[in-house]
Amino acid sequence: MRTATKLVTCLATVGGLLASTACGVGGTASPGGEGGEGGVALRMSVWTADEKQLALFDSIAAEYTASHPEVSSVTFESLPFADYNTTLSTQIAGGSAPDLAWVGDIAVDLMAADALVPLTEPFSTAEGYDYPDILPSVTQGFSKDGELYAYPFSNSPFAMYVNADLLAEVGEEVPEQLTWEEVERIGAEVSEETDAEGFVIRDFEYSSWMSLATVWTGWGATPWEGSTCTMNSPEMTEAFQFVHDAAFESGAMPGPGTSVDFFAGDAAFTTAQVSRAGLIDGSFEFEILPLPAGPVGEYATLGQAGMGVIASSENVEEATDFLTFMTNPENSAKLAQFFPPPRSSLLSGEKLAEVNTVLSAEQLDRVVVQELPEAVSPPVHTGQAEIVQTGKESLDAMWTPDADVKAVLDSTCTAIEPLLQAE
């Protein structure tokens, strides 16, 4: 049952919102397809501004509106990734929600608040949809009590992108499998001997600390288990010590305040999702490998995104029908050009290479098909946004040369554990 009190209370927690928070938000919009005049105008919030991706979405929307005169247009609203959860929460709580939205770790809060529309029945009964083709393993983060609430359109294992030109410049070859020890060693060489940096953790920037899951999983660490904080575990302490030393001792990783873009040729290595391959522009030779092995051996981490229908939309029926169309087998194959799909029928290197213009079938098999079955997603928790923000404030003390890593992690647990235990 969708009560206003439940929705606003939950989403205010998600975004760390105050009662005085303004509900107006900014963003850019892609107009999508336009159908008959006077029909329903649908809006989907997304966190991509990639022109090629938006062009694909627009083409799918145009095909839909051409055969569905009851929908006049579908607009894709691009919101900044860094503020996406807060902005979406504000929109929903303030009554200006989109009809559909991309969802990531915010999904657990939206499901708890009954803010998403159940999708199992409309997907299962749609002609030609082939709902059983969707891998059950990738639906878990977007399901509650056996009901699917968001279509997991992107299931992208994180990989290690390698600038082969920079490695050659320091006399190194691209190995078949990396270790974090090798990444730090080679990265320090590149930083010392060239104008480029060693390695960067994509989107981390000493702020988005959950991005470090691509590192700490290799140490067998996790930030929490249920309601217990494990940020100060021996495994996590070793992982953060590695990152700290790479930044402030070996110089393998650029320090705070340095803006580095691997895809512009600025670094030898970066961790990023396979779906970021579209940023490769051909200006340097590159390779893509599974994440480096850590002390626990080889591992894989997964970044996911889902598409859901917002329950407070005035156009739930039309939005659900459009989402069913956008994620049917034919359109899922088109989306696979950018986003590793959830459908088993599409998960082969050859199939993915049919629509991927950057990565080869061999590369896609290595970093998607072989990695996906064992990949683990970073943990999520109700009230995730507040937990992450509180953790960031505590971890700010980590990013100085003389920081006591264990002491900072102890303080982080002290700060976030009450939030983990809150009902």
DSSP 156-176: EEEEEEEEHHHHHHTT-PPPS
CATH number for the domain running over 40-155+303-368: 3.40.190.10
11-36 average pLDDT score: 45
Residue with tokens 């968001």: 150
pLDDT at 34: 55
Q: CA-to-CA distance for 87 and 98, rounded, in angstroms?
A: 11
In a 3-state reduction of DSSP, which class is residue 239? helix
Is the domain spanning 157-302+380-421 CATH 3.40.190.10? The answer is yes
Helix axes 405-421, 384-395, angle to 10 degrees: 160
Using the predicted structure, report yes or no on whether residue 18 has a pLDDT greater than 60: no
- Type of residue at 83: D
Mean pLDDT of 349-362: 90
Give the mean model confidence (pLDDT) for residues 207-232.
Answer: 96
CA torsion sign for 119, 86, 20, 413 is positive
Residue 39: predicted pLDDT: 87
In the predicted model, what is the mean pLDDT of the chain? Answer: 90
What is the pLDDT, as a whole number, of residue 278?
85
Q: How high is the pLDDT of residue 14?
A: 42
Look at strands 71-78 and 40-46 and give their pairing.
Answer: parallel
What are residue 43's DSSP bridge partners?
75
Pick 34 or 23 by higher pLDDT: 34
Q: What is the pLDDT of residue 254?
A: 97
Task: List all residues 6 or more positions away from 168 whose beta carbon is below 8 Å from its beta carbon.
Answer: none
> What band does 31 get if pLDDT is binned at 50, 70 and 90?
low
Compare 14 and 325 and report the one with higher pLDDT. 325
DSSP character at residue 257: T
* Most confident of the ranges 289-298, 331-340, 346-355, 382-391: 289-298
Query: What residues contact 49, with CB distance under 8 A and at least 6 apart?
Result: 28, 78
159's CB contacts (< 8 A; 6+ apart) are 271, 272, 273, 274, 288, 289, 290, 291, 367, 371
In whole angstroms, give the CA distance from residue 400 to residue 256: 9
Residue 3 has pLDDT above 60, yes or no: no
* CA distances from residue 267 to 76, 139, 282 in whole angstroms, order as listed: 32, 35, 15
> Residue 372 — very low, low, confident or very high, per pLDDT cuts 50/70/90?
confident
**pLDDT exceeds cutoff 80 at 179:** yes
Confidence of residue 26 (pLDDT cuts 50, 70, 90): very low
Lookup: tokens for 419: 């939030």
Contact 66, 34 (CB under 8 A): no
Partners of 159 in the beta sheet? 272, 290
Band the pLDDT of 27: cuts 50, 70, 90.
low
**For residues 282 and 38, which has the higher predicted lDDT (pLDDT)?**
282
Q: What is the mean pLDDT of residues 166-186?
A: 96
Burial 52-69 (b: 16+ CB within 10 A, else e): ebbebbbebbbebbeebe
Distance, in Å, from the CA atom of 248 to the CA atom of 243, rounded to the nearest integer, reads 9
Retrieve residue 165's tokens: 């030109």
> Residue 156 has what pLDDT?
86
Q: Does the structure show a pLDDT above 90 at 374?
A: no
* Residues of the chain above pLDDT 90, percent: 77
Placement of tokens 């009662």 in the chain: 19
Q: Which helix (H) or strand (E) holds 244?
A: helix 234-248
Average pLDDT over residues 381-402: 94
- pLDDT > 70 in the chain, percent: 91
pLDDT band at 8 (very low <50, low <70, confident <90, very high): very low
Confidence at 28, pLDDT banded by 50, 70, 90: low
The CATH 3.40.190.10 portion of the chain extends over: 40-155+303-368, 157-302+380-421
